[in-house]
Amino acid sequence: MAEKVDVWQGTLALMILKTLEALGPLHGYGIARRIEQTSGDLLAVNYGTLYPALLKLEQEGHIASEWGQSDNNRKAKYYKLTRAGRKFLGREERDWEQTTAILARFLAPGKESA
C-alpha cells in the first residue's frame, strides 16, 4: 500500500468546499475522512491544518457552521457551503483546471493541445 502524503499547499480549501458541495453539512472529522477516502487513502489530512482552513473559510463567508449531534451522540460543529461559497468554488474550479492544463504542458512537452 502506498504511503499517505500530506494535502498539497493551496488545495485543502478546494477539497473542503467540494466535499461540502457533494455531501452537504459535515463535521470536521467527516470532512477529513471523506477527503482521505476520495483520494483513495493516498492523502493524510492533518487536523492542525484542517481546522484553521475551516475557520478561514468561515471568516471569508464561504462556509457557515452550527453545533449539532454527531452519529455517536456527541456535540460536533457542522459546516455547510454558503451561496458565496458556491460562487467561490466555481471560480476556484475554473482556476484549478486552467492551472493544471498549463502544468500539463510542462509535464508532457510536445503534446500541447490546440
pTM of the shown model: 0.86
Give whole-number Cα distances, 58 to 45, 64, 105, in Å. Answer: 19, 6, 35
pLDDT by position in tens, the chain (length 114): 567 777 776 799 999 999 999 999 999 999 999 999 999 999 999 889 999 999 999 999 999 999 999 888 999 999 999 999 999 999 999 999 999 999 999 998 766 554
- Asked if residues 93 and 13 have their Cβ atoms less than 8 Å apart, the reply is no
H/E stretch holding 15 reads helix 12-23
16 falls within a domain: yes
CB atoms within 10 A of CB 62: 24
List the CATH number of the domain containing 16.
Answer: 1.10.10.10
One-letter amino acid of 24: G
113 falls within a domain: no
111 falls within a domain: no
Q: How many domains does the chain have?
A: 1
23 falls within a domain: yes
114 falls within a domain: no
Q: Which domain holds residue 58?
A: 5-106
